[in-house]
Every structure is written in C-alpha cells, then in structure tokens.
Structure 1
Amino acid sequence: FHDLSPKFALSLDAGEALVMREHPHDLWLSALEVDGEVLLAFGLAGCPGHDAPLAAVALAEGHALVIAVLDAFLESARPEQTRMRHLLAAMPIEEFLQAVGRRLIGPLRRQACSHRALELPNPVGPGLPANALGVYQQSVAGRVAVGAAVPLGRLDASMLRAVAQLAAQWGDGTLRLTPWQSVLLPNVCGEHASTVMAGLHAAGLICNREQPLANIIACTGSAGCVKGLADTKTDAFKLAVLLEHHGLNLPVHLTACSRSCAAAHIAPMTLLATRAGHYDLYFRDTQQPGFGALRARDLTIEAVGALFAADSRSSTDD
C-alpha cells in the first residue's frame, strides 16, 4: 500500500455520538445495527454525516473489506487518480463494488443499507462541533468524560502537564486527543465534572462555544509552512481578542494560501492571506466557486475586526 497517496484517508467509527462524521474520506465505515446484528456500513469518497452507506459487511469482515477496497483501488486507478473520488469520476461505482466483492469471502449486504440513513447527530459547520466540548455520560453509571478544546490546536507543555494532572487526580489517568483539536478526560465521577472543567479552563483550554476561539480555525501558516503567506495562528489570536472586545463570536477560517488545509468544507467566513498580516475576506456563497463571495481585499486583522463590528452594528440597527 506504499503506492497509495499520503492523503488517501480512511475513517472508522463504532456508531457512537462523539465521532468525526463530517469530514470526507476515501473510505468510511460506521457501525450499524440491523435486526439485532452489528454490521459495518461503508461508503466511498464521502462521509457518513452527508452520504448514505453503499453497503455493509459483517463486523468480522471489516478488516477484509478495507484490504479489498485498497487492493481494488490500486488495481483500477491510473497514476493520476490518486484519490477515490478521481477513480469514481471515471469508473462506475457498481463496477468498483463488484471488484471489491470478488475479493471478499462474505457478501456485500446491499439490502441492509438500502435507503437506510445512519442515525447521526445534526451536521455541524466549520470550526469546533458542539460535541467537542462539555460533559458526556459514559455507559458506566456515574462516570462521565469531560472535553475541552486546545486553542487553535496548539497544546504546549504547561497545558499538557495541567491536563495530565487533572486526568490522574479525577479520572483514571487516561487522556485522549480528538479529531476536533480537543482533549477528552474519560472515567471521571460525575460529581467531579465541574471541578475538572474549571481546571481545564484555568489551564488555558476552551471550555464553551461562547469563547471566540471556539469558532476560529487557522492553518499552520507561515510559521510552519513554506507555502504560507501569513502567520495565521498569531493573526487568529489577534482576531479573537478583537471579536471578544466587540462582543462577537463568528465562525472564521484563516488560511495562509488557497489550499485551505485546515478546513475540509468552506467556512461561513474565510480570510485568505495575501501577504504577511493581510487578507482577502470571503463570505460563503453556494452560487459561487471557491471560498464564496469576495467582500473585501487586503485587510489587516484590525480592519477585519472593525468590519465585523460595523456589520454587527448595522444588523442591530436594521
């Protein structure tokens, strides 16, 4: 499988609520109960948050399915077809599923998934989904998991020490990192959840969606990427301070180039770097390609904050 693109992505979830279901993958699998039996439903070049499964296999066949899909892809794809979506644009999906089926001992269960939608949480927009933060009941009575987000995905040593101490003192020492750039401390007694949350907040983590940083995402930027035209992480922190000053909490995506590595979907508001400290501002518009409608060019972060504040006042006045 070394011939696969480094970006060829697979997703597997067990059907739980706290799972990344809105990010597209070349192959996704999601546990699904049908008539008392747990199956693995799967889809290609999409995500279970938006796409119905194509078929399912028995749980024990899950590994064999993944191998079959990868083998069929490598056999069928031309060199320029590096992702599943490229192959399926030229090859009927039924033909590909037949190639997969020939490699499996058990059957592909098409009928089990026919017109059957997975039971999923409400779709969420770009930025941190609501289920990345807060307190979540576990299957063990009286035990909860406590989640908090890392500001712009940067977990420094002092934060990590504080989180580790909380996990050891109030949980069982387990610490999990999530797909939403957040941490999760499981196996906490429910009565101690507020204490753990207060400790996470004191350590500098984001504990509720009312904080502006909870809805801002930024790529690595020029500080860590040669293609970056601006230091997006630093500028995002500046923007968060400005938004908090104006009492605003907006879903904004800062990207240091047009590749948009930090966001799988178009954000409601995108700041595309033009040079250090300057950005073009786009508002999402489904009728327009790319990031959407261009609102303003070559803005400083201070100008962006002022524009958002002016828009807010105008909307209030109206």
Structure 2
Amino acid sequence: MPDAPLKQAQPTDRSPRPSACPGLWRIVAARDGGICRIKLAGGLLLAEQAEAVALAAERYAGGVIEATNRANLQIRGIGADHAGLIEHLLAAGLGPRDAAGDDVRNLMLSPLAGLDAGMLYDTQPLAGQILHLLETTPRLHQLSAKFAVQLDGGEHLAMLEHPHDLWLSAIRQGAQTWLCFGLAGCPAHGPALGMVPAEQGLALVRAVLEGFLDLATPEQARMRQLLADYPVARFLQGLSVRFSDAPAGWRRVAAHSPWLGVLAQHQGTALGVAPPLGRLSPAMLRALAAIARQWGDGSLRLTPWQSVIIPSLAPHQADQAVQALAAQGMLCATDHPLAQVTACTGASGCAKGLADTKADAVTLAAQLRLGTPGAVHLSACPRSCAAAHVAPATLLARSPGRYDLYLRDARVPGFGRLRASDLTPEEAGAMLDLPTEHFDD
C-alpha cells in the first residue's frame, strides 16, 4: 500500500477531541489483538462488501467479526499488517480515503430506511447528503468520533432509545413532512425542541454542528457536556437556521416491531437474523451475502440490535433463508434463548473486563424464559461498551463469574435499581426467570 494514504490518517490522532475508539484508519489494541471498526453508511452493506470483510477477517485477523449497537461492523484480533487490512477495506468501498472524514460518519437510520411499511419519509437521500457533509467538511472533522446523529423517518422498525447528540424525526402536518429535532437525547423520550420542513434538514444539521463547534471547549466532546454549562434556549437562539415550534407534547411513538424473523416491507419481505452475542464468523457473513445476492436485492442492513436484515425477499425465499442461516448458527426468531441476552467482549478480549461475559451469557441464556429480545445485558466493567442504552436488566461484573444485578428504573440513574449482589450467572438466571412486566420502566 502506498505511504501517502497512511500518512493522511495521522491528523485524526491530533484532533482537539481525540478518541480511543477504533475506526477504519485507527486500529486500536486490545487483549485479543487489534480492533478495526467499519462505519457503514446507514448500516448498508453490499454482498460483495460482506465477502470482502469476511476475507479480511481471515487474512489479516483471527476470523472474529462483530455487529455493533450502532449498526456497524468490527474486525477483532488483527495482526501486524494494518496497512494491508486498511487498503483491502478501502478497495471494497468501506470507508473514505480521506482519513479525517472517517471518524465523524456517525449517522443512524432505521435498518429498513426507504423500505419500511410504516415510514412517513424516505430518509436515504437526506442521509446521503448528511454523510457527504460530514466526510468532506474539514471543520466538522473537529467533532469527536463519538458525536452522533440520528435520522428517523417514522418507520415501524427503529431504535428509538439510543441517545444521540442530535436527532431528527419525521412528522406529517397536512400534506407536508417536517423533521422534529432534539439535542442530547433520543426520539423516544424527547423533548422535541423545534421542527423544520424536511427539505431544510441538511441546513439544520449543519447549523447545529457548527453551533456546537462554535461554543464547545476541547473537553466538551458531546452535546450533553456543552448543554450542562450552556442554556439550551440560548444555543437554539444562536442557530443560523430558522425553525418552528414542535407540536406541544409531541413524542415519537414506538411500534415495537420485532427485529428477528420475517419482517414486513412496503413491498416484499425482509428477514432479520442475528449472530449469537453479536459475533459473526466469516462463514456466516458469506452465507448472508450469498442469500442477499441470490434471493434479495444484493444488500444487507446492519441493525442497532447487533443483527442483520436481508431485505426484499419473497416469502418462500425467506423460509429457505431461515433454514440455511440456522444451519450456520444464526438466530432467526425472537424466542431463541441467546436472542434475549447481549454481552460486551469481556475479559477474554478486553484488559478492563472483570469477567468472561460471552461465556457467562451462554450459561445465563440457557436458564431464561423471558421471551424478550435484548432483555439482559452483561457488562464486564462499568463502561458498558456494548449497550448504547440501559437494558431492562444489567449484570455488572465484580469479579470472574460474579455479578451485581440491576433492574432499569427511570427514577434511578445509571443501570437502575440494584436488585442483588455477587451472583453467579446461574443465580442471576433464577432471579431473572420472571414475567416480562417485572422489567418495565
């Protein structure tokens, strides 16, 4: 690989808001080797790109691929040939050759953007404009690699609980589509601070990002940190774009659509599947690519539930795909025990981990009959890296094989209410084998 592209990666390390998070150009060391994070445009992964990732994981790493809770992919266990891996991924179109533009490509869409039967607004054109703005505007490269934007088109299938620095959510008033927006929060909990016509969405995003950079100190990497010291009303007054008041009391209502199994599209059918505990093998990724190419539209959609959707299948093809992917070890239904559990990398791959969460999650899942996907999260340390929002139940490691159990409670910060301490996975499983309503907010 030529020297010049690698040299272009260095300025991101001298950002006023540096990050230890991995990216395509920044391979971060972990206990099990290097980590490379591939930020996908709206979660979209073409079949040939999936095959390129599978090959990269085998050729340059230990064969472990992870689906993340921001609808991206990670390759773990990377060896010494970082330059070869980066060039391989760039050649597949999986990131910008301008390294400074890679970190800031943090835009979440519905996994079925443009296809969802319930969408009010096709977010894909605006999403492309926002990503182009982020990638090609040098000043915006001063944003933290964690600074994130959500664009919600009102789809049935949408993650509405992940917090974002800026979120936009479609509403209809008469014949016009508007975008409500909020700061340092999520559409599910609001509040909406205003709204603009959908055609002014890009101008609003630019104004908010530039307004943040005008005011934030280098230590203020996230919108919530700025607004802790700077009144939100004053921030809004300073924006270079005009906006209207949002409807009083507006909240984005979730449809609670399943994300595993056969999913409805505006036309056709989609199939949602998940690798156990978010980990894909190269064989799994190749099987997904083959089905997408043979029966779908040649694309895959990564989701914020650490799963994958194959869009645009015929119903009989979805049934055949379930059989093929289940044979590869993929989870294809919400009632599978492992679908109810998420877990961070744990002590086997992370030096900060206090417990082997992946192994303990398998033990725990075998005891659960909750029937609620993602109901329990195992975290090997208080950072809770693999969960962008608080799960209904969290097991926080305190030592190898021992956990404190928290139940989510909107009145209590952090993981919620401490239910019990110093439990084994088996003891936690016995306590968690309760009706679903015990895990409501």
- Scaled by the length of structure 2, the TM-score of the pair is 0.61
Change in Cα spacing, 1:29 to 1:216, as seen in structure 2 (3 Å) is same
Counterpart selection for 2:345 from 220, 245, 252: 220
Aligned pair count? 295
Greater relative contact order structure (CA < 8 Å, 6+ sep): 2
Answer yes or no: is the 8 Å Cα contact 1:216–1:252 preserved in 2: yes
Matches of 1:196 and 1:121, distance apart in 2: 28
Counterpart check, 1:139 vs 2:266: yes
Paired amino acid for 1:4: L
Select between 154-163 and 268-277 the one with higher mean Cα deviation: 268-277
CA-to-partner distance for each residue in 1:58-88, whole Å, 9 max, x for gaps? 3232222111111111112234332212222
In the other structure, the counterpart of 2:364 is: 239
CA distance in 1, matches of 2:364, 2:294: 35
Change (3 A) 1:203 1:275: same
Indicate yes or no: 2:83 matched with 1:83. Answer: no
CA contact 2:407–2:416 (8 Å) conserved in 1: yes
Equivalent of residue 21 in structure 1, options 142, 155, 160: 160
Q: Aligned AA for 2:258? A: N
Residue 66 of structure 2 corresponds to which residue in structure 1? none
SS at match of 1:28: strand
Identity %: 52
1:204 aligns with 2:343: no
- Conserved 8 A contact 1:133-1:148: yes
Is the 1:30–1:48 Cα contact (8 Å) retained in structure 2? yes
User: What SS does the corresponding residue of 1:131 show, helix, strand or coil?
Assistant: coil
Partner of residue 154, structure 1: 279
- 2 CA distance for matches of 1:67 and 1:288? 35
1:259 Cα deviation after fit: 1.5
Give 1:282's aligned residue: 406
User: Is it true that 1:53 corresponds to 2:192 in the alignment?
Assistant: yes
Structure-2 change in CA distance of 1:50 and 1:158 (3 Å): same
Q: For residue 71 of structure 1, give the secondary structure of its aligned residue in structure 2.
A: helix
Counterparts in 2 of 1:293 and 1:33: CA distance versus 1, 3 Å: closer
SS in 2 for 1:187: strand
Q: Could you tell me which residue of structure 2 aligns to residue 93 of structure 1?
A: 232
Any gaps of 5 or more consecutive residues in structure 2?
Answer: 1-139
Partner amino acid, structure 1, of 2:262: V
The within-5 A match list for 1:183-194 is 183-194=308-319
Map 1:32-71 onto structure 2 (within 5 A): 32-71=171-210
Counterpart residue identity of residue 139, structure 1: H
Q: Which whole-Å deviations, capped at 9, do the CAs of 1:78-132 have from their partners, x for residues lacking one?
A: 34332212222222222111111xx23xx3122xx2216355324x6xxxxx531
Moved more, 16-25 or 190-199: 190-199
Q: Give structure 1 stretches of 5+ with no counterpart.
A: 125-129
CA RMSD of aligned residues (A): 2.5
Deviations 1:155-202 (A, max 9, x none): 111211222222223223222211211111111113433222333323
Report SS of the residue matched to 2:258: helix
Counterpart in 2 of 1:108? Answer: 243
Paired letter, 2:317: H
Q: Which has the larger radius of gyration?
A: 1
Shift of 1:308: 4.7
C-alpha separation in 1, matches of 2:185 and 2:235: 15
Q: Matches of residues 302-313 of structure 1 in structure 2 within 5 Å?
A: 302-308=426-432
Matched letter for residue 258 of structure 1? P
What does residue 118 of structure 2 align with? none
Cα distance, 1:307 vs structure 2:
4.9
Alignment match, 1:127: none
2:211 equivalent in structure 1: 72
2:167 is aligned with 1:31: no
Question: How far is the alpha carbon of 1:24 from its aligned partner?
Answer: 0.9
Once residues 220 and 171 of structure 2 are traced to their aligned partners in structure 1, the CA distance between those partners, rounded to angstroms, is 30
CA positional deviation for 1:220: 1.8
Structure 2 SS opposite 1:199: helix
- CA separation in 2, counterparts of 1:285 and 1:38? 35
| Aligned CA distance change for structure 1 residues 119 and 295 (closer, same or farther; 3 Å) | closer
Q: Residue type of the partner of 1:131?
A: P
Cα 1:222–1:86 shift into 2, 3 Å: same
d(CA) in 2 for partners of 1:39 and 1:175? Answer: 29
Q: What residue identity is the alignment partner of 1:231?
A: D
User: Is 2:406 the counterpart of 1:265?
Assistant: no
Deviations 1:5-26 (A, max 9, x none): 2221111122222222121101
